[in-house]
Amino acid sequence: MLRRFWLFFAQAVTVLLALMFIIATLKPQWLQRQGQFGKQLAEPIVALREVAPGIGSGPAQASYADAAQKAMPAVVNVFSSKDGSLPPDPRAKDPLFRYFFGDKNRKQQEQPASNLGSGVIVSSEGYILTNQHVVDGADQIEIALADGRTTNAKVIGVDPETDLAVLKVNMTNLPTITLGRMDQTRVGDVVLAIGNPFGVGQTVTMGIVSALGRNHLGINTFENFIQTDAAINPGNSGGALVDVNGNLLGINTAIYSRSGGSLGIGFAIPVSTARSVLESIITTGSVTRGWIGVEPQDVTPEIAESFGLEQKSGAIVAGVLKNGPADRAGIKPGDILVSVNGQEITDTTRLLNVIAQIKPGTAAKVHLVRKSREMDLDVTIGKRPPPPKQPAEDNGGGGGGGGGGGDQDDDGG
């Protein structure tokens, strides 16, 4: 039986091979069609893009390592200290208090208060940009570079109204950062924040530009902040905000926070402002701004209605400094300032910024509305007086004024 089955199988195979030989000889196109059909079954029905073997199923993630490595060497740690800044504890005079606590409390009172922040080397000559609140009132400032070198620094000048300070160190072979361009910066651009948060060491965080030109925050007198969600924490103050090419876009200054940590709302001073302050301080030792001596107030719909004003925007003059530039030019309380040298005035912040940019001693044409009548006055711009000295606060060099705290200067120009 098995022999008969094997004989049948051998005959069948012989017949099939003979049939394939005849087809290959007489009709070879039949075999080509069969091959194409098999190939079609192996290919996808539609054209699909598929990753190469070994790459993985997810998209390749962009790296910002080059930008970080380019900018990080120019970002330094700033340590400032104030001697005798802590008031003595009145309980130290109590013999019973000294018996239980000894002189430990007294020694703690005698230790200098320290402040921690960051800075950015912007010139090979040793100039460093940082925040004014990082070095405010400091008796000693020490700089630590990313390569491990340390040195003392001296303050060349400060500008409290923008919260910027310029330091200088005497060192060679200093790494410097490249300044970026604000006119090419857009909301949504990726940025990196570099600094020394909480003293843990140099750190890089990533985010995007959330907004440009932020003001009315009550942090500084002159505000034009870059808002970002890159994490900025205590110790980041004075550090660099850079673009994806490692170019400096701003100086990290403040955060909005209820706890002291980052909530994704941070603010940086634009590089355009920082550069202007830097050059002015290096040249003259201070920042000179224009001033006309008025106390302005925003024109709100409520004010416009109560005064019967047709003008719905601008800055209304609430007060005029006697014998000041505005007073000598004939500006009076109740006038609404509409434009200065052709630049529209929408509110007090805009007025402050426009006036500040005009060189003292030059004449400016002020367009105003007085009792529904428009007129132009020529005002000789004066030099803005320095702000009153505020008592220094030890804020740990933090992201600067959490929650947008601070006093807004109200003399408008």
- Catalytic residue positions, numbered: 133, 163, 237
Spatial CA neighbour of 70 closest among 238, 204, 245:
245
- Whether 112 and 85 have beta carbons less than 8 Å apart is answered as yes
Question: Nearest to residue 278, comparing CAs of 168, 360, 356?
Answer: 168
- Asked if 130 contacts 120 with a C-beta cutoff of 8 angstroms, the reply is yes
Q: Tokens in use for 188?
A: 């949504």
Contact 141, 167 (CB under 8 A): yes
Q: Are 398 and 235 in contact (CB under 8 A)?
A: yes
By the 10 Å C-beta count (0-12 exposed, 13-18 middle, 19+ buried), 190 is classed as: middle
> 3-state DSSP call for residue 39?
helix
* 267, 226 Cβ separation under 8 angstroms: yes
- Write down how long the chain is: 413
Q: Of 384, 392, 135, whose CA–CA distance to 238 is shortest? A: 135
Residue written as token pair 């912040």: 349
Q: What is the Cα–Cα distance from 236 to 197, expressed in whole angstroms?
A: 5
Whole-angstrom Cα distance, residue 354 to residue 294? Answer: 14
Q: Which amino acid is at 60?
A: A
